[in-house]
Amino acid sequence: MKKRALVVDDEPDIRELLSITLEQMGLEVVTAAKLTKARKLLDSEHFDLCLTDMNMPDGNGLELVDHVQACHPHLPIAMISAYGNMAIAIEALKKGAFDFISKPLELIRLRNIVQSALKLDQGEAERNLSSTSLIGTSSAMESLKQQIRRVARSQAPIFISGESGSGKELVARAIHVLGPRSAGPFIPVNCGAIPSELMESEFFGHNKGSFTGAHQDKQGLFQAANGGTLLLDEIADLPLEMQVKLLRAIQEKSIRPVGAEDEIPVDVRILSATHKNLAKEVQSNQFRQDLFYRINVIELPVPSLRERKDDIPQLAKTFLERFASESDLPVPTLSDEALKALLEYSFPGNIRELENTLERAFTLCHGSAISHEDLQLQTETLSIEQLHQRTKSSTQSAEEFDSIDDYLATIEKDMLVSALEKNRWNKTVTAKELGISFRQIRHKLKKFGIE
């Protein structure tokens, strides 16, 4: 059976153009020149897609978006807006529109929107998140999962906010997996980890010979994510000059590789994330207001671990099972005292800190259960600078690391390699010298990838 599309526009030429294009794609097309007729058709017939113009004789397209969201929430509806009228397009996305297309119509863009919309399963909104890595059944997590189900169906840019270590990238992956682009690539990029002089090349690619060292053509991140999702993690760390170029790429849906004369169209859904307060960054002129409005069509706040402590037992069980599987060792249990300590701890580093804490405890415990002492929860919060003053064995500056756990892991690895070299890589002797068990040293070797 053919998929059916409803085209709502008061201009006969536009209705004809859309009808021809959609019919060439194998769709059955029904048209309406007024909102009243469109509502009657929607309420009496089945459609797989709706395209609506903004300005209609008896109202505007936003009213139809509201009607679809209220009465037919599983139906993807896309807005056709006048060229340059981004405020209306963004308002439509906030109301639940699947996507938008500007006049004059670009047929390639139209086909991309239609193809993406038709990939949505009518029952997908009820699909669970078991195929993702989101763990937890607390009220905060259930609310987050419901929001993910809703925003995954649209193509609206999503801004994922939350503290460091709260799982923002996992949320982005879940949005990708549950959306119509799940068969396409998911490309995460840490904006703060790219040297400023290489940013344009990394994002947009470059042509051979465009600068010193450009020995061959290189595909950028936008092209790598074509047909899929691009996550701009720690977007607040982008320099202002790059923010301008990123804004243009998002607006025009095209990029120009360094050294190229022509722009290349790209079909990418943009998700962004940061642990910083982006609104404050805008106020202090560290982040462009126009880019902020463009990426922040819908904000999705990720709860901290403090707001979802009911999930700690399930998270702990999952982490311990994974550590045991990776080390080919039995899964230890948490003692009542250890679980109580975890539930009472504030976890400023959120899930990442919980994972690191349990991994350390996993290597330290000698029996079949992890004790309170094995957790070694910090009662005092030390800064990277304080740790650097206390520890003299590391050859790297503490300021180079993103977190205390990363810094400590580097020190631990250096000490382990040094002891192994001293003992001619005899693991038994090295373990005894370091005061750890053979089980612990075996786990550490696997953890750090040391052969």
Per-residue model confidence as pLDDT tens digits over 414-436: 888 888 777 767 788 788 778 77
pLDDT at 128 over 60: no
Give the pLDDT of residue 242. 94
pLDDT at 210 over 90: no
Helix, strand or coil, per DSSP, at residue 337 = helix
Give just the sign of the alpha carbon dihedral 141, 142, 147, 152: positive
- Name the CATH topology of 306-381: Helicase, Ruva Protein; domain 3 (1.10.8)
Tell which wins on pLDDT, 429 or 235. Answer: 235
pLDDT at 155 over 70: yes
Q: What rounded mean pLDDT belongs to the chain?
A: 86
Report the pLDDT averaged over residues 405-414.
Answer: 77
Per DSSP, 236 falls in state G
- Side-chain-side CA neighbours of 197 within 13 Å: the count stands at 3
- Side-chain-side CA neighbours of 344 within 13 Å: the count stands at 11
Give the pLDDT of residue 316. 96
Q: How confident is the model at residue 387 (pLDDT cuts 50, 70, 90)?
A: very low
May I ask the CATH class of domain 4-118?
Answer: alpha beta
Give the pLDDT of residue 125. 42
Taking a C-beta distance cutoff of 8 angstroms, is the pair 277, 299 a contact?
A: no
Q: Name every residue whose Cβ is closer than 8 Å to that of residue 203 and which is 6 or more positions away in sequence.
A: 189, 220, 221, 222, 242, 245, 246, 249, 255
Tell which wins on pLDDT, 260 or 345. Answer: 345
Give the pLDDT of residue 434. 80
Give the pLDDT of residue 385. 46
Give the pLDDT of residue 193. 87
Report the pLDDT averaged over residues 306-318.
Answer: 95
pLDDT at 286 over 60: yes
Residue ranges covered by each domain of the chain = 4-118, 129-301, 306-381, 384-451
pLDDT at 78 over 90: yes
Distance CA 437, CA 427 (A): 10
Lowest pLDDT segment from 192-201, 388-397, 434-443: 388-397
Give the pLDDT of residue 386. 46
Distances (CA, A) of 255 to 79, 101, 206, 267, 288: 24, 18, 11, 10, 19
Distance CA 8, CA 40 (A): 12
Q: How confident is the model at residue 382 (pLDDT cuts 50, 70, 90)?
A: very low
Per DSSP, 86 falls in state H
Q: Which residue has the tokens 């270590």?
A: 165
Tell which wins on pLDDT, 284 or 432. Answer: 284
- In 35-97, where does DSSP find H-type helix? 35-44, 61-71, 86-95
Give the pLDDT of residue 383. 45
pLDDT at 409 over 80: no
Taking a C-beta distance cutoff of 8 angstroms, is the pair 145, 311 a contact?
A: no
> How long a stretch of residues is the chain?
451
Task: Name the superfamily (CATH) of residues 129-301.
Answer: P-loop containing nucleotide triphosphate hydrolases (3.40.50.300)
Report the pLDDT averaged over residues 109-124.
Answer: 78
Strands 369-370 and 269-274, by their bridges, are: unpaired
Report the pLDDT averaged over residues 360-388.
Answer: 72
Q: How confident is the model at residue 123 (pLDDT cuts 50, 70, 90)?
A: very low
Which overall architecture, per CATH, does domain 384-451 show?
Orthogonal Bundle (1.10)
Give the pLDDT of residue 229. 96
Share of the chain above pLDDT 90, in %: 53
Helix, strand or coil, per DSSP, at residue 107 = helix
pLDDT at 401 over 70: no
Give the pLDDT of residue 153. 84
pLDDT at 404 over 90: no
Give the pLDDT of residue 89. 82
Helix, strand or coil, per DSSP, at residue 149 = helix
pLDDT at 395 over 50: no
Give the pLDDT of residue 380. 46
Q: How confident is the model at residue 83 (pLDDT cuts 50, 70, 90)?
A: low
Strands 4-8 and 49-53, by their bridges, are: parallel
